[in-house]
Amino acid sequence: MAKSSAGKQTGWQKALASAGIDAVTDALESRGWTVLPTVDAPLSDNVDLHIINGEREAQLAVTATNRYGWVSGGSVTESVRDGAPIVNRAAAPQAQADFLVLATPARPVGKRETPDDWRFFILPAVEAESAFRRIVDAVINRPRADGSPREAVGPIMGFVGPHADSDGEQEPATMAEKNDQMDRFAPYESAFAALDRFRPPQA
């Protein structure tokens, strides 16, 4: 997970993030991309992977969760809650991610278990920003039942299905909100072709 979106992580969370990046790397390499991790030689706090295929290239941020049926937009903070960027949180001149890749289990796993089978959602950064901003505004900025504000802590979670019972703090209040989130993310599942079509904006 890009440093700018990671927040303070435990050892387990770092291991999960690393596993997600490894899984995305494997998926990209199997599709002919050369993948250059940026962890040891940081290109930007916003970018986890720099990918190249012939004359095509792109910069990716990656988030991972082991919570079945959900994707993570990174950690919420007070500044994010108040409108700061969710995807490319470190401002220029730092390099910006072109896409956010969301890694989530393809089947249920234990609470501290790392998935070995993943689903991937590949969103252009602007689309990811819009999708997770709606979640922040509708869920995290929604007052509690007693009218008190919710804390700006934890991950920004988006529902991708299938439906299941759960009791998380930041879940949609209604089935309609869950359906809306699922519909928003669905077109981007396994959308690796978007990387093939991508051309970086000209400076």
CA distance 176 to 63: 25
How many CB atoms lie under 10 A from the CB of residue 165? Answer: 4
- pTM attached to this predicted model: 0.87
CA distance 69 to 34: 29
Q: Report the chain's mean pLDDT, rounded to a whole number.
A: 87
Give the residue with greater pLDDT, 90 vs 27: 27
Where do runs of H (alpha helix) occur along 30-173?
A: 78-81, 125-135
Tens digit of each residue's pLDDT (9 = 90 or more) over 65-81: 999 999 999 999 999 99
The yes-or-no verdict on residue 99 having pLDDT over 80 is: yes
How many CB atoms lie under 10 A from the CB of residue 182? Answer: 17
Closest to 26 (Cα-Cα) out of 109, 120, 123: 120
Domain ranges of the chain: 3-197
- Residue 39 binned pLDDT confidence (cut-offs 50, 70, 90): low
Supply the pLDDT for residue 170: 46
For 196, phi and psi rounded to 5 degrees? Answer: -65, -35
- Residue 114 binned pLDDT confidence (cut-offs 50, 70, 90): very high
What is the phi-psi region of residue 3: left when phi exceeds 0, alpha when psi lies from -120 to 50, beta otherwise?
alpha
Give the residue with greater pLDDT, 11 vs 66: 66
Give the residue with greater pLDDT, 166 vs 161: 161
Least confident of 1-10, 97-106, 135-144, 156-165: 1-10
Supply the pLDDT for residue 116: 94
How many CB atoms lie under 10 A from the CB of residue 31? Answer: 13
Closest to 120 (Cα-Cα) out of 40, 22, 33: 22
The yes-or-no verdict on residue 102 having pLDDT over 70 is: yes
Architecture, CATH, for domain 3-197? 3-Layer(aba) Sandwich (3.40)
How many CB atoms lie under 10 A from the CB of residue 148? Answer: 8
Q: Which residues contact 162 (CB under 8 A, 6 or more apart)?
A: 69
CA distance 9 to 18: 12
How many CB atoms lie under 10 A from the CB of residue 38? Answer: 21
Average pLDDT estimate for 103-120: 95
b/e per residue 90-118 (b: at least 16 CB within 10 A): beeeebbbbbbbbbbbeeeeeeeebbeeb
Supply the pLDDT for residue 64: 96
